[in-house]
Structure 1
Amino acid sequence: MGNLSRLLKESWTLVEEQQDKVAGYFYARMFLSNPHLRTLFPVHMDVQRARLLGAIVTAIQTLDDPERFEDYLRALGRDHRKFHVQPEHYDVVRDALLESLRTFAGEHWGVEYEQAWSDAYNVIAKKMMAGADADTNPPFWHAEVLSHERRSRDIAVFTLRPLQHTLEYRAGQYVSVEAPRYQPRLWRTYSMANAPRPDGTLDFHVRALGAGWVSSALVRRVKPGDLLRIAAPMGSMTLDRKSTRDIVCVAGGTGLAPIRALIEELTRYNRTRWVHVFFGAKDREDLYDLDELNRLAARHPWLSVVPACSDDKSFTGEQGNINDVVARFGPWENHDFFVSGSALMVKHTLRTLAEMQVPAVRIKYDAFGDI
């Protein structure tokens, strides 16, 4: 994979600064040659274009990590069943992708680059199709909104109950969510905020992000009784029960959701591992679940909670960005870490942990964006 990876990354630099144009051209070619595929995609394509390129780049980057490459792509194949993707669609995508890259790379595009992308895509498609074929679950679950609570100006906490059989997942994982009544065919990823329960219910913490189509609907429009759709679970930010090391959880904003799920799982069996939770936000209002965290800490002596605000001088707790707060409480090199939040928050935290000499193999994270 070494030479293939080099060729892919080298050729990507030829078009990287034109990502939006490449993506736009790609979709135009695909829809012109296969107009019926347009119905599989949302009406608003702006975000979808960016997500396509992000998925391609992520797949390229995983080529250097065979195990992650395998797991990531099989999970991606399972997840894409929600789009009703069929095996023949993979050829259409490959042809449109190669034509787009060839067009925007211009005279610098060569036979080696063409073959590298074709070979890499065929590997990706094969693994995605294998993941989809092996999945015995439905493409997605219909789920009823049981409760919906606004916790701040732009944060909501709500609970869903799948109408089909129980969704099987592990604490710390995430799913794609669609609100078909408000934004059909638009899917966004959100982490479950609870460990699996006997009744199958799922909690979610969502922040409305600017003009975000789905997040705004989930926070401001969804109400009890509405039906949402949720796709297959993904993500590897899960607990290793064999580890005996103490745990540090670092959460920014609604990145607290998977951390809450991990804590809930730990309350069921943990007796020996200290768990330190650092919960950061801009202001006190955005520490939307702090009271419940404190109640959990009061019930479980092994759990401690350190809240922090970066832009609220009136807050009486820790001040500063959460990665800097974590550093002040170190050293942490003998702990397992779980990091969840915005792409920027995760990036800063990973850099801080590297400076503190925390081994990368002990850090788990999922960031829905480029870090």
Structure 2
Amino acid sequence: MGDLGRLLKESWSLVEEHQDKVAGYFYARIFLSYPDLRDLFPVHMDVQRSRLLNAIVTAVQSIDDADKFTAYLRGLGRDHRKFHVEPEHYEVVGGALIEAMRVHAGEQWCVEYDQAWADAYAKIASVMLQGAESDNSNPPYWYAEVVAHERRATDISVFTVQPMQPLDFRAGQYVSIECPRIQPRLWRPYSIANAPRRDNTLEFHVRAVGAGWVSSALVRRLEVGDMIRLAAPMGTMNLDRRSTRDTVFVAGGTGLAPIKSLLEELTRYNRTRWVHVFVGARNREDLYDLPELNRLAARYPWLSVVTACSDDPTYPGEQGDISDVVARYGPWSEHDFFVSGSGPMVKATLKTLTELQVPSIRVKYDSFSDL
């Protein structure tokens, strides 16, 4: 680890236990100094309060991995165009971040930490601005009309939208969604559940999570004819067409969405690779897309589907957490893996794959919650 990376992680450890206070001070400093910037953020800051801070910390923690650092930040810069972020805003955010950390680190904070964060943030801002500038040929976001909306379970909906302009993406990527009619200025990331299509439509699978402002709106209040906004596609959980290895997809709940996208791409060209899909859910109702998966398996002889329920003792298929079910099959050491679902599900599956000696370089994963 270089000196910069060491200083960043060392100084972050001083405030890590006080992230909520750091985030609160960070936003208060921004809004008090520049009240006009408040309009860039949602009315409800409960979730947003930690999002920007977490994004910066994630970038800082990968600063010694040049490829990961650059790819993550260029994507983040493209994505932040949806907030109408201007170059001068980066300086405001950087100053507020360093001041918030300095205040909450106490006497152990030193001038070396101050300089390390200033240098790191300058790199972050530079790469994000490059990412934003590289996307200037596209709009900051796309308007899309809801053309189909179906409740598949008590808290799960599948809906399809038609963008007003073509939106280029790769199978396995995700976009942030905003519902201006219902929850303006609140954006949440959701995976696209299909590969690029000639008609440019996009399908999404969404579960209403607790009191989730956006997920609940998308499941319970979104209607055909509504207009939503989509930010620039992000994510690197994509297929490598050069690989000849057989493939395993592991999905939990609506984590099936990007897996469906990758499967759709495979149906267009795959002839030689065996593909195994493992789908886990709490109960049979949560296996909301099982008929379509079975249809695909019947049509393509190279595809097999295994489903499991963790909290449904009467389910006739596999029982238990999907990570444990995967371990019962195999061997898997020569396969490519794609994992998508909740943070705990992804974490458990990655642990299982490590125990099964699957090389980490062959594992791609997607999770929108903390691992």
Using the size of structure 1 for normalisation, the TM-score is 0.99
Runs of 4+ in 1 over 4 A off after TM superposition: none
Q: Report the secondary structure of 2:183's partner residue.
A: coil
Offset at residue 52 of structure 1 (A) = 2.0
Offset at residue 247 of structure 1 (A) = 0.2
Offset at residue 331 of structure 1 (A) = 1.3
Map of 1:196 onto structure 2: 196
Map of 2:163 onto structure 1: 162
Deviations 1:323-367 (A, max 9, x none): 000000021000000000001100010000001000000000121
Map of 1:152 onto structure 2: 153
CA distance in 2, matches of 1:275, 1:364: 15
Offset at residue 241 of structure 1 (A) = 0.1
Q: Which amino acid aligns with 1:85?
A: V
Q: Which amino acid aligns with 1:47?
A: V
Q: Which amino acid aligns with 2:78?
A: R
Unaligned 5+ residue runs, structure 2? none
CA distance in 1, matches of 2:304, 2:61: 36
Q: How does 1:181-220 map to 2 (within 5 A)?
A: 181-220=181-220
Map of 2:97 onto structure 1: 97
Q: Which amino acid aligns with 1:19?
A: Q
Percent identity between matched residues is: 72
CA distance in 1, matches of 2:57, 2:291: 40
Residue 228 of structure 2 is aligned to residue 228 of structure 1 = yes
Map of 2:141 onto structure 1: 140
Offset at residue 208 of structure 1 (A) = 0.3
Offset at residue 9 of structure 1 (A) = 0.9
Q: Which amino acid aligns with 1:128?
A: M
Map of 2:48 onto structure 1: 48
Q: Report the secondary structure of 1:217's partner residue.
A: helix
CA distance in 1, matches of 2:351, 2:63: 23
Quote the RMSD (CA, aligned, Å).
0.7
Deviations 1:192-236 (A, max 9, x none): 000000010000000000000000000000010000000000000
CA distance in 2, matches of 1:67, 1:6: 19
Map of 1:304 onto structure 2: 304
Offset at residue 278 of structure 1 (A) = 0.1
CA distance in 1, matches of 2:285, 2:172: 24
CA distance in 2, matches of 1:105, 1:114: 11
CA distance in 1, matches of 2:89, 2:107: 29
Q: How many residues align?
A: 370
CA distance in 2, matches of 1:229, 1:200: 15
Using the size of structure 2 for normalisation, the TM-score is 0.99
Offset at residue 369 of structure 1 (A) = 1.8
CA distance in 1, matches of 2:69, 2:182: 34
Q: How does 1:262-277 map to 2 (within 5 A)?
A: 262-277=262-277
Map of 2:173 onto structure 1: 173
CA distance in 1, matches of 2:54, 2:210: 20
CA distance in 2, matches of 1:355, 1:54: 29
Map of 1:21 onto structure 2: 21
Q: Report the secondary structure of 2:185's partner residue.
A: coil
Q: Report the secondary structure of 1:63's partner residue.
A: coil
Q: Which amino acid aligns with 1:305?
A: V
Map of 2:370 onto structure 1: 370
CA distance in 1, matches of 2:300, 2:285: 25
Offset at residue 266 of structure 1 (A) = 0.3
Offset at residue 2 of structure 1 (A) = 1.7
Q: How does 1:103-114 map to 2 (within 5 A)?
A: 103-114=103-114
Q: Which amino acid aligns with 2:160?
A: T
Unaligned 5+ residue runs, structure 1? none
Offset at residue 299 of structure 1 (A) = 0.2
Map of 2:61 onto structure 1: 61
Map of 1:3 onto structure 2: 3
Offset at residue 370 of structure 1 (A) = 1.6
Offset at residue 64 of structure 1 (A) = 2.7
